[in-house]
């Protein structure tokens, strides 16, 4: 049995015979690459007696969350290419959908204009983007700010490094809509995993710092 794949990349790695018969994979691509795998290319890097597997696939980055990596690329003189990323959510086979590219995309389902759940999610997104960064304030930062304001003690944000994102959402009374229709899908997209594998037990500080 033979089959065709659109390019010799990751798709070709996913083909598995269900009945045990061998499959002749024939990638369809204008150019013939020297290897299979597309951007899922892992190479071995050796330094003395140590060997490390390095994923050389493409990576999307930004100055806010990848400052050290960007500095590293500059040091080794690796160029980057400007690109754009968009975010959208669809669940329950299209029963609920929205995207963040424009106001029209947010309310691509016009019924959501009259949905209190939708408006609460939007309110919580704005609130989260505005106030979640407080989690990144360290004890020293708080003490310095208190000293500048003439206070003898600091007023923290109530979170410790061990607080999970689930505990943070509950403490700050974020809505189920924000959790299920924004935060979990967003983290699933960022980490390229399924939403059911995105646990609320993840450290809140680590998640906010990465986002």
DSSP per residue, 118-139: HHHHHHHHHHHHHHGGGGG--H
Band (pLDDT 50/70/90 cuts) for residue 169 is very high
Those residues with Cβ within 8 angstroms of residue 43's Cβ, 6 or more apart along the chain or in another chain: 53, 54, 56
Domain residue ranges in the chain: 2-41, 88-210
Q: What is the DSSP letter of 6?
A: S
- Residue 52 makes CB contacts below 8 A (sequence gap 6+) with 44, 45, 46
H-helix or E-strand containing 91? Answer: strand 88-91
Query: For residue 145, is pLDDT > 50?
Result: no
Give the 3-state secondary structure of residue 183: helix
Backbone angles phi, psi at 91, to 5 degrees: -145, 165
152 has pLDDT over 60: no
Q: Which residue has the tokens 């500080």?
A: 205
* pLDDT of res. 66: 86
pLDDT (0 to 100) of residue 59: 77
pLDDT at 38: 54
Which pair of structure tokens corresponds to residue 131? 């106030």
- Tell me the average pLDDT across 86-101: 93
Reported as a single tens digit per residue, the pLDDT across 9-64 is: 444 444 444 445 554 545 454 445 566 555 567 888 898 889 988 877 777 888 88
pLDDT in tens, 95-120: 999 999 999 999 999 999 999 999 99
- At which residue do the structure tokens 């975010």 appear? 87
Tokens for 93?
């086979």
pLDDT value, residue 140: 52
pLDDT at 15: 45
C-alpha closest to that of 211 among 148, 95, 110, 133: 133
pLDDT tens per residue, range 173-206: 999 999 999 999 998 888 777 887 788 888 898 8
Chain centroid offset of residue 210 CA: 8
pLDDT at 79 over 80: yes
Residue 116 has what DSSP assignment?
Answer: H
Q: What angle do CA 158, 184, 57 make, to 5 degrees?
A: 110
User: End-to-end distance of the chain based on CA atoms, in angstroms?
Assistant: 45
The neighbour count for residue 33, using CB atoms within 10 Å, is: 13
Report the pLDDT value the prediction gives residue 146, as an integer from 0 to 100: 43
pLDDT, average across residues 59-73: 87
Token pair 């959208």 is at which residue? Answer: 88
The pLDDT assigned to 184 comes to 93
Residue closest to 36 by CA, chosen among 2, 9, 69, 76: 9
Between the CA of residue 98 and those of 9, 52, 86, 113, what are the distances in Å? 30, 41, 11, 11
Query: Given this model, what pLDDT does residue 32 score?
Result: 52
Q: Which of 167, 115, 158 lies closest to 134, judged by CA?
A: 158
């Amino acid at each position: 049995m033979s089959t065709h794949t659109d390019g010799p990349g990751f798709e070709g790695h996913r083909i598995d015979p269900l009945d045990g018969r061998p499959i002749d994979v024939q990638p369809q691509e204008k150019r013939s690459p020297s290897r299979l795998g597309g951007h899922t290319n892992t190479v071995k890097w050796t330094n003395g007696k140590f060997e490390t597997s390095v994923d050389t696939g493409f990576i999307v980055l930004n100055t806010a969350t990848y400052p050290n990596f960007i500095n590293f690329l500059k040091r080794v003189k690796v160029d980057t290419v400007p690109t754009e990323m968009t975010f959208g959510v669809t669940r329950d086979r299209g029963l609920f959908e929205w995207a963040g590219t424009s106001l029209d995309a947010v309310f691509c389902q016009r019924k959501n204009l009259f949905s209190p759940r939708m408006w609460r999610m939007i309110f919580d997104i704005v609130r989260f983007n505005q106030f979640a960064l407080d989690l990144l304030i360290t004890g020293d930062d708080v003490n310095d700010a208190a000293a500048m304001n003439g206070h003898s003690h600091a007023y923290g944000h109530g979170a410790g490094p061990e607080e999970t994102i689930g505990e943070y959402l509950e403490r700050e009374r974020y809505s189920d809509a924000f959790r299920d229709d924004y935060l979990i899908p967003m983290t699933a997209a960022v980490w390229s995993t399924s939403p059911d594998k995105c646990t609320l037990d993840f450290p809140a500080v680590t998640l906010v710092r990465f986002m």
